[in-house]
Structure 1
């Protein structure tokens, strides 16, 4: 628990509080608090939750990341009291977009909440994307037309489920599938029904409890972006989906 105790001491001192003042804020006595900070005693789960809420830092980071390396104000705070990553900006104050390389794809599931993992990713800036936290993810496979294999999709982080909308596409980070790109079919009480843009694959249900992150599709980076538009200027994604649905309806009528 040495990392936890170091983090606890750092967070308390950053507020310029005495051990007694912090203990009172946590509704415990100083004699009980001091061993947590010195590393002599491990706090029970209920106290851990109180500490996390009080300092606005997740239990995950308190136990596994040296928060002394980061300015607390530069961390992205989420609704569930989890801190996901430092908000990195360039010299002009523009948001830096991390690119998750193909070789780092599998490691993202364990590194998504580790600021050191995130900071080590390649970074680019795209000011035209506007406000919000953005990240680029690798895509591939025949369930993701019209995005080429080995291309990247830039997603905007979705902070709460109320923001997601039917028929929009999202990058889902789930414990069971890992990184996947799907279109929202419907939103249910405890799950989402999603579908690939290739209609040969059926819609399926994803439990909310299985979802780690949701990123809304905002842009595409590929070797041949011209493939994303047809000659008339209409997004090729819409054309492909319409043709696929028409073909599916024809097959249904024939059978």
Structure 2
């Protein structure tokens, strides 16, 4: 059962706002807010994220909890020394969302459970419960046809030894911040990673493996718009050639 419509009315009234004032905050028209509150429409994901941010809530709490009643505070746990997570009231791991505006802060706060607990949360029931996932809002056009502003869902990878060549990853790096690329690593150059964009306008480049602080295997994404056209990615042979050429230039 979803409480989002009831919660929206409750939260607005708690702030003492009119529907028009809330609509202005959400950048929608007043009748849209009315439709949400009267359960004639359900807010799309991006609007839900705006509401959650506006009222300092997780998406799970906004959708699944009756906020007009007392709720149990979500606890925080540290699953690994290098990865801070939060869990819900059923002791299931949350999926934290890192919006573009929070990307810089994530670099310094990714190991801090208190910082992680303040990030928006997303509920994705279809994802495996026994694994750790995180969501990242991407920017730029280097991975077209995935559009800027899309949200990609990544599964936590504990070690670079588990990296699969040619797969798409979110890398949290010391120098370049949060990066979304296809990644290659070869036996003779374990200390170097090749990062390749699906958009061939962007040239591949290498980084040191030691620069990677977190690695997330991307397996799905959400976008509020469809791509204008489907752009094919580079064949594996092209990727291998780029790897060899790039590494040769580094020598």
TM-score scaled to structure 1, two decimals?
0.57
1:81-92 equivalences in 2 (<5 Å): 82-91=81-90
C-alpha separation between the residues in 2 aligned to 1:106 and 1:123?
18
Q: Which runs of 4+ in 1 moved over 2 A?
A: 185-188
CA deviations over 1:78-127 (Å, ceiling 9, x no partner)? xxxx3421342343x44310011222111111111111110001112212
Of 233, 237, 248, the residue aligned with 1:241 is 233
1:15-54 equivalences in 2 (<5 Å): none
Which residue is equivalent to 2:79? 76
Which residue is equivalent to 1:99? 97
Which residue is equivalent to 2:124? 126
Structure 2, gaps ≥5 residues long: 1-73, 239-251
Q: Figure out how many residues of one structure are paired with residues of the other and give that number.
A: 161
Which residue is equivalent to 2:111? 113
| Equivalent pair of 1:137/1:153 in contact (CA under 8 Å) | yes
Which residue is equivalent to 2:140? 141
Cα deviation, residue 219, structure 1 = 1.3
**Highest Rg: 1 or 2?**
1
C-alpha separation between the residues in 2 aligned to 1:190 and 1:128?
35
C-alpha separation between the residues in 2 aligned to 1:104 and 1:155?
17
Which residue is equivalent to 1:18? none
C-alpha separation between the residues in 2 aligned to 1:90 and 1:146?
37
| Equivalent pair of 2:154/2:219 in contact (CA under 8 Å) | yes
Secondary structure of the corresponding residue to residue 143 of structure 1: coil
Which residue is equivalent to 2:160? 161
| Equivalent pair of 1:176/1:210 in contact (CA under 8 Å) | yes
| Equivalent pair of 2:79/2:85 in contact (CA under 8 Å) | yes
Cα deviation, residue 184, structure 1 = 1.4
